[in-house]
Amino acid sequence: MDLITSRTMEITHLGMNGLMDRQHAIASNIANVNTPGYQRKEVAFESQLAEIQEKENLKDYIKGLNSVEYKPPVLDVFTGEVHKYRIPTLQEKAYMQSNVYDQFKPQLVTDIYSGTDRQGNNVELEREMMDLSKTGTKYMVLSNLERRQFSGLSEVIRGGQ
């Protein structure tokens, strides 16, 4: 982890992007509350964020193995180097260099399970307003977390004055 980009900042940024997409879907649902045949939309991304966290945890585990696990000195016959620690496999090296954050793509899905009215519309205004409020609250929490991260970074740069 370098000083500017941390896992917390990356994941909060992705979460905020997903929540913005969700806000757009909710706004579209509200705008189409009286449109005949309209099917409400949802945005799913939480499982993707959990998967990214798991992959980053695996990267941390591999880093730990390769920096802590001591082995008796071994001479590499090809390079002539003496290795005192575990050498990562080619698969581990490739995995460590992969960018798991690029895999994040919030999914816009159509809700086909909610009941519909006589005109085939399944948007319930009360539900959309609740979802709008929950999404806004989650966004505010993530933005406060990101603000704290930047505040801490700013404090480090200023030297703790």
Q: What's the pLDDT at 85?
A: 62
What percentage of residues in the chain have a pLDDT greater than 70?
85
pLDDT at residue number 79: 75
Residue 84 has pLDDT above 80, yes or no: no
pLDDT number for residue 88:
73
Q: How confident is the model over 42-58, as pLDDT tens digits? A: 999 999 999 999 988 88
Quote the distance between the C-alpha of residue 146 and its chain's center: 13
Please tell me whether residue 71 adopts helix, strand or coil conformation.
strand
Per-residue pLDDT, 5: 57
Using DSSP, state whether 100 is helix, strand or coil.
Answer: helix
**Once rounded to an integer, what is the mean pLDDT over residues 129-147?**
95
Of the candidates 46, 96, 43, the residue with the CA atom closest to the CA atom of residue 67: 96
158/110: higher pLDDT: 110
Q: What is the pLDDT of residues 100-120, one digit of tens each?
A: 888 899 999 999 888 888 888
DSSP state of 42: E
Residue 9's pLDDT is 85
pLDDT above 60 for 29 = yes
Task: Note whether 62 and 38 are within 8 A (CB).
Answer: no
Beta bridge partners of 42: 109
The pLDDT score that the predictor gives to residue 107 is 95
Place of tokens 């080619």: 90
Question: What's residue 20's pLDDT?
Answer: 97
The residue count of the chain comes to 161
> Band of the pLDDT at 1, cuts 50, 70, 90?
very low
Cβ-proximal residues to 33 (8 Å cutoff; 6+ apart), any chain: 121, 123, 125, 128
| pTM of the predicted protein model | 0.75
